[in-house]
Amino acid sequence: MPSLRVQTVELPREVKRTLATELTETIVEARHLSSAQRDACVVLFELRAGDDLAVGGKLVAHGGAPQVELTYRDHAIGAREKAKLARRLTETVARALAMDGPELQRITFVFSRLDDGDHAIGGVLRPRAAPAAIVRAWRAMRMRLKGMFRPQPPPRAGLPPPTPSAVAPAPAPPIGTSAGRAGS
């Protein structure tokens, strides 16, 4: 599933909320993802204080222009899709952070393609799994985990607990007896 890491200086919560929504929508539209695949799309913010990031030898906290680096990871992404994503995601970031003109040069991308067998969900390596299959496996695992931690309902009042004889099947007759032979 697509993941996008955003590395830059500290951002207000509302800007992060806007970026998370708009970047996800841009990825969904550009990659033609289903709603199930959209739900598995991750945007991770790695934010630094202005005195922890320097651009051109100048700390951002002391007047240096901030840099925004996006790292996009996904399965089966070709050169044409990379170019489309780079353009669309740059427009999205620029709009959210009010950047334009030469400031756009401070938005950079790193694309990382996940090959088959490079992705595990719940500790299970998923070789050659289609994105939809990965989403289904992730949801099934999540539902199993939820079920493990739900309290069991109490037995219904007035009903006796099941007895072993009512649950267990009758034993098969031994082989070689008249009841165990066909046509006897």
- Pairing mode, strands 124-125 and 120-121: antiparallel
Can you give the CATH number for the domain in which 32 is found? 3.30.429.10
Residue 140's pLDDT is 78
Assigned domain for 179 exists: no
Assigned domain for 181 exists: no
Looking at the structure of the chain, the number of domains it has is: 1
Please, are residues 1 and 134 in contact by the beta-carbon 8 Å criterion? Answer: yes
Residue 126's pLDDT is 63
> Which neighbouring-strand residues pair with 47?
8
Assigned domain for 16 exists: yes
Kindly report, residue by residue over 93-131, the tens digit of the pLDDT: 999 888 888 888 889 888 887 776 676 667 776 655 556
Cα–Cα nearest to 1, from 92, 135, 106: 135
10-residue block means of pLDDT along the chain (184 residues)?
A: 87 91 92 85 88 76 77 85 91 89 88 74 63 71 69 63 54 60 51
Residue 19's pLDDT is 93
Cα–Cα nearest to 65, from 7, 9, 5: 9
Assigned domain for 156 exists: no
Residue 14's pLDDT is 92
Assigned domain for 172 exists: no
Domain, as residue range, for 82: 3-114
Cα–Cα nearest to 50, from 38, 71, 65, 40: 65
Please, are residues 20 and 59 in contact by the beta-carbon 8 Å criterion? Answer: no
Global pTM value: 0.60
Assigned domain for 59 exists: yes
Assigned domain for 92 exists: yes
Residue 36's pLDDT is 82
Assigned domain for 67 exists: yes
